[in-house]
Structure 1
Amino acid sequence: MARILLTDDEDAIRGFVQRALEMDGHQITPAFDGADALEKLNGENGAFDLLLTDIRMPMMDGIALALAAARDFPAMTILLMTGYADQRERASGLDALIHDVVTKPFSLNQIRDAVADALTAGEQRLSA
């Protein structure tokens, strides 16, 4: 299955999403904010199939993280999460870089489906 870098500053959400995606057989590397995720991303030389990140976080937000990831690892698929309408609007200008934005709160099935869809789209993009 896929290697996923999961970034969210809320422990409960990060844990919920991690458990949900591990149920599908994915290997999850958790990060607690954008700076932590960028360090892990660079430490692994971008060897992740998907970056799944919250937008609103301290230190480095998900949009700054997505821009850095897209710049340094353009083959990586990026999926954003947010519970804030204004953050979703900020992400709308990144359509060329990100796959989608998942709105919080979401159900177990919604996040699993969104990740599956993003991974499929990433595979199709790479094989085209």
Structure 2
Amino acid sequence: MARILVVDDEESIRGFVERALTLDGHYVKMAGDGAEALDVLACENFDLMLSDIRMPLMDGIALALQAARDVPDMTILLMTGFADQRERTVDLEALIHDVVTKPFSLTQLRDAVTGAIAARKAA
């Protein structure tokens, strides 16, 4: 399965996503913000990064830009519950696979991750 870095400042979201993806057989590592995620990315390789957009310190857009530069072969999937944040991703289509809208169901999460991983393998 895939190696996935999940980045979200809400512990409840991280826990839900971690449990779901671990049950699907993925290796999952967690980070609470963009700066922590960059530290993790400097030490480990991942197939996919699933990051919230709205976070303190470094938001998901800034993280996606830096991660795409530093780890160009990693697929990036963003998530947000705010329409204005989703609009900020329009110019990032070349860097990110998709944006998952919160709140999402377990099925929606699994489908988004499966699609992102499949797209990575097809590239």
Does the alignment reach a TM-score above 0.5?
yes
Give TM class, smaller chain. Answer: over 0.9
Gap regions ≥5 residues in structure 1: none
1:47-95 deviations in Å (ceiling 9; x for gaps): 1000100000001000111000100111110000000000000011100
Letter of the 1:34 partner, please give it. G
2:13 — aligned with what?
13
Q: State the number of aligned residues.
A: 123
Q: TM-score with structure 2 length normalisation?
A: 0.98
Question: Mapping of 1:101-120 within 5 angstroms?
Answer: 101-120=99-118
Identity of aligned residues (%): 68
Aligned to 1:60: 58
Amino acid at match of 2:77: L
Alignment match of 1:97 (pick from 88, 95, 98): 95
User: What 5-or-longer segments of structure 2 have no aligned partner?
Assistant: none
Q: Secondary structure at the match of 1:78?
A: strand
CA distance in 2, matches of 1:11, 1:73: 25
Aligned to 1:123: 121
Q: Normalising by the residue count of structure 1, what TM-score does the alignment of the two structures yield?
A: 0.95
| 1:21-57: CA deviation from partner (whole Å, max 9, x where unpaired) | 111100000000000001100122xx10001000000
1:87 corresponds to 2:112: no
* RMSD of aligned Cα (Å): 0.5
- Which residue matches 1:34? 34
- Of the candidates 45, 48, 69, which is equivalent to residue 50 of structure 1? 48
